[in-house]
Structure 1
Amino acid sequence: MHTQHGRRANVVGAGPNGLTAAAVLAKAGWQVDIFERADRPGGAAATTSALGPGTLVDLGAAAHPFGVASRAFRELELTNYGLEWRHSGLALAHPLPGSDAGLLHHQLDWTAEGLGADAAAWRRLHRPATDDIDALLDEVLQPLAHLPRHPLQLARFAPAALAPASTIARRALTTPAARALFLGSAAHAFAPLQQPLTGAFGVLFGALGMTHGWPVAAGGSQAITDALLAVARAHGARLHLDHEVTGLRELPPADATVLALTPHQIARLGGAPELPRGLRRWRHGASAFKVDYLLREPIPWTNPRIAEATTVHVVGTAEELLLAEREVARDRLPEHPFVLLTQQQAADRLRAPGDSVVVSGYAHVPHGYAEWHEDEVVDRIERQLERFAPGFRDTVVFRRTTSPEQLEAWNPNLVGGDIAGGAMTGAQLLRRFGVGPNPYRLAPGTYLASASAPPGAGVHGMPGYWAAKTLIADTREK
């Protein structure tokens, strides 16, 4: 049996998954070299002053329900390396026509009490997840093909998880607020909500908000990157920026290579192993069209409670949300798209100078969507915001838009603007959940650690964590 000491690994990609893999390996005694094409680490977990001096703008992910609950981040003790989570008064809000809204509080009972006739149904739906959320996350944030450590917890979660979110909303819930709140969480699947397994997203995102919350990182998502890099460097890892890897033969000799890349990128690498059949046919799904705003004052929501939430789902009723996601799945731009808005300053005040406010958001659009005319998508985003915050446009000082094409140009992992690492539909859905052979081992000595591996997208580091753990286990077996 070999010891880990003295072994070398190359990691390609310095986003959250690549850095997590690097930190786990470095802590286990490996010499790790990280190669990143950009001039700064972080991938989609990056923060800049893109809206002007004194602003902090999250270029990618902004709120982190899975990050604050991540087993990988907990084991790496990121809060000892400068990361601080900050919470707002509400985890999530979903405005409805008129001045009503679905409000996700930090506790199950508080949320249920606000949903009136659906209070008991909301508790029944979410209690199997909220009773021991960390045990459940240990099961679902890894490939499903494993021996469960918490089989009872998984069994209680399964009925809702396996069902389509639309079916749950129709059969289990009756009020507009409860249905919209649940389906808005399920829409993070970036998949038609009539599809099986989308119920898992609705329950999990809601349960996370009612237990760990939906916080932001103090100072921006870059703080997560900085903490991961600090852990890796504390154990000897080295970072090489402005170093685009076009072929594996360019890398220094090593015992293993970890690729925090999509299958699309790996297939273009010289010297890369042939991808498994499922990855050779990898498809990318719906895209994000992103917009960042500098506002002269907070958003004038019709319902003032919405200002207390870091995350706001702006689309309207459950029926409007289902229609919008169905249109995207049919490669049509919705007239009233689903908009996910993050009000970071509800939790982290110092994001803009003076009384000004930074907010970030994106709309779900068809894969790789190219506008027919300038501002086609942002006009629809702003019409949605005006529905629930009349006068929103009058508060805008400056806006920055990023199309799906521009997202990919900034970060090639976001193929066609797909921020989920691949489609969550058809047979590919099973691979996204880790059904089948080990999804991290591409070939002897080569491992997959991107959001295209289970458990998928999000700034939680778990694909990188499991890729590193798989590599360490493989080495010990030799």
Structure 2
Amino acid sequence: MSAPDAVVVGAGPNGLVAANVLADAGWRVVVLEAQGEPGGAVRSDRGVHPDYVHDLFSAFYPLAAASPVIRAMRLEEYGLRWTHAPTVLAHPLSDGRCPVLSRDLRRTASSLAGFAAGDDGAWERLYRLWRRVGDDLLGCLFTPFPPVLSGLRLAARTGPSDGLRLARTMLLPARRFGEEHFAGEGGRLLIAGNALHADLGPESALGGGFGWLMCMLGQAYGFPVPTGGAADLTGALVRRLRARGGVLHCRSAVTRVVVRGGRAVAVRTEDGAEVPARRAVLADLPAPLLYGRLVAEDDVPARLRADLRRFQWDFSTVKVDWALARPIPWTAEGAHGAGTVHVADGVDDLTRFAAQLAMGRVPDVPFTVLGQMTTADATRSPAGTESAWGYTHVPQEIRGDAGDDGLSGRWDEREKDVVAARVEAGIERLAPGFRASILARRVLTPPDLEDRNAALVGGAVNQGTTSLHQQLVFRPVPGTGRPRTPIRGLYLASATAHPGGGVHGAPGANAARAALRAPRTARSPRRLRPRPFLG
């Protein structure tokens, strides 16, 4: 067999999207994955209880549902089926009130009117703004920076004056965004809680824009899940790739990108084999790992090495999976049908949580994002039960414990139990009887997450902070916001590239398109007929 046109390092969603885009163009593509199965942070298992499916990392996919990259691949033709919880998201409070985000606009607005008169109208105005600019905004988000075509369309749609106002709105911290638009706590909680899906606390610039974006995606698309588990999304991408002749090898860890004459020409695997790449190498792994481990030091410019020393990871993550004997007994009615539930008692609690993280302290009262997976997909566990998980953030570098348990980041069994107990206490406060329903539990700390997926360095699930100083032309380092690297033929296809984290495929697609546009230094690839999976 002749050498492939491209080698893709890593079979996460971005790597698989990149491979599919190249295969669509007729390139011969080989994907090499270190783990025993593809998917990166889009995988599922039955490791908690044999009757329960749990997603190991990511679980809800509003960005995938909205992504023009994913939608264009028509993955439904390769077995993917989306399903939704009755409502998208809820934020129950200890007094029984509960703002609810629903795909039904009137239901969302009505839930916010219960907090303050007029907040229903405020939500509807924000959604009308989304309907006006959302497609172009997503176009700006999912294409390389600067997003010329989408940016021009957005500018024409808004005009200079409204365009500046939109830019200001997107840069607002979540707290200020909420205060400007809502009189009551309900809308403010939806914005601030969604901002903290990343690492943007209520006082962080860009948090309001990110929180609004996530809320509008939920309003327009919901937070869908793949029927059967996250692995079904990966499976559809793999089946599509194989139908186009692409080859996937798992348990094939790449240890070196081979550079000759300033160009990436091959990769070397841990068993010493060299896999040539006629046209390109695309790396679906974090930039610090690519340049720090896979590329020889002499091939990395000194300025890039210096910039990477300033690269900032996002907060670490602790995730708790539960097999529950029954659905969670929330006191607030609005939380029962929600796929995603936020556990925190107010925006001030979110600020306190974020401040403790900023000080390097493990929060004593964690903000928890909770997934009710059987509520969203009945196939995940037996009837009348619930497959559930909750994740919270901890500092990358722990300097102390905001509680009284002396947590230090050793993440031994005692520390796992302490963090899980704090998470469960918050849920129990809003759903008395929750703990009694637990049949089995798994606690995944930052080292556990990284062990299962080396790209999640220190449990950083977004591959770098979402903060403004590491976005656009600053991601992953000050430069162009594009997937090209200083090494010809080598492209960064991971979430450390613009536009960053989330399962939307944009970094992979951007890298593949950059490779396709590059000047040809070898003979043109011939268009292949689909062939069976090899190897």
Q: 1:421 aligns with which of 452, 457, 463?
A: 463
Shift of 1:279: 3.7
Distance 2:99 2:477 in 1: 33
- 2:377 match: 348
Shift of 1:475: 3.7
Q: Does the CA-based 8 Å contact 2:177-2:208 persist in structure 1?
A: yes
- SS of 1:312 mapped into structure 2: strand
- 1:329 match: 358
Q: Does the CA-based 8 Å contact 2:92-2:334 persist in structure 1?
A: no
Q: Deviations over 1:163-193 (max 9, x none)?
A: 1112112232221211111111111231333
- SS of 2:491 mapped into structure 1: strand
Q: Structure 1 residues 70, 426: CA separation in 2 closer, same or farther (over 3 Å shift)?
A: closer
- 1:404 match: 446
- 1:207 match: 216
Is the deviation greater in 438-447 or in 34-43?
Answer: 438-447
- 1:464 match: 508
Q: Determine whether 1:59 maps to 2:62.
A: no
Compute the TM-score of the two structures, normalised by the length of structure 1. Answer: 0.94
Shift of 1:323: 1.3
Shift of 1:144: 4.2
- 2:285 match: 261
Distance 2:154 2:48 in 1: 48
- SS of 1:383 mapped into structure 2: helix
Q: Deviations over 1:439-458 (max 9, x none)?
A: 31012100001111111111
Shift of 1:215: 0.8
Distance 2:478 2:391 in 1: 30
- 1:196 match: 205
1:184 partner amino acid:
G
- SS of 1:178 mapped into structure 2: helix
- SS of 1:398 mapped into structure 2: strand
Q: Does the CA-based 8 Å contact 1:368-1:405 persist in structure 2?
A: no
- 2:336 match: 307
Q: Determine whether 1:39 maps to 2:42.
A: no
Q: Does the CA-based 8 Å contact 1:129-1:203 persist in structure 2?
A: no
Distance 1:76 1:426 in 2: 31
- SS of 2:447 mapped into structure 1: helix
Is the deviation greater in 128-137 or in 69-78?
Answer: 128-137
- 1:394 match: 436
- SS of 2:37 mapped into structure 1: coil
1:222 partner amino acid:
A
Q: How does 1:415-454 map to 2 (within 5 A)?
A: 415-425=457-467, 427-430=469-472, 431-432=474-475, 436-442=479-485, 443-454=487-498
Q: Structure 1 residues 182, 56: CA separation in 2 closer, same or farther (over 3 Å shift)?
A: same
2:448 partner amino acid:
Q
Q: Deviations over 1:126-146 (max 9, x none)?
A: 432234533321122234422
Unaligned runs of 5+ in 1: none
Q: How does 1:68-467 map to 2 (within 5 A)?
A: 68-116=65-113, 117=117, 118-131=119-132, 133-147=134-148, 148-152=151-155, 155=163, 157-249=166-258, 250=268, 251-254=274-277, 255-266=279-290, 267-271=292-296, 273-274=299-300, 276=304, 278-367=307-396, 370=409, 371=411, 373-374=414-415, 375-425=417-467, 427-430=469-472, 431-432=474-475, 436-442=479-485, 443-467=487-511
Distance 2:102 2:74 in 1: 27
1:212 partner amino acid:
Y
Distance 1:435 1:134 in 2: 27
The structure with the largest alpha-carbon Rg is 2
Distance 2:168 2:281 in 1: 39
Q: Structure 1 residues 282, 257: CA separation in 2 closer, same or farther (over 3 Å shift)?
A: same
Percentage identity across paired residues of the two chains: 38
Q: Deviations over 1:338-381 (max 9, x none)?
A: 10111111121011134332101201111155148431211110
Distance 1:130 1:80 in 2: 28
1:380 partner amino acid:
R
> How many correspondences in the alignment?
474
Q: CA RMSD in A?
A: 2.2
Is the deviation greater in 320-329 or in 296-305?
Answer: 320-329
Unaligned runs of 5+ in 2: 259-267, 269-273, 399-408, 523-535
- SS of 2:294 mapped into structure 1: coil
Shift of 1:331: 1.2
Q: Structure 1 residues 247, 100: CA separation in 2 closer, same or farther (over 3 Å shift)?
A: same
Distance 2:331 2:53 in 1: 26
Shift of 1:409: 1.2
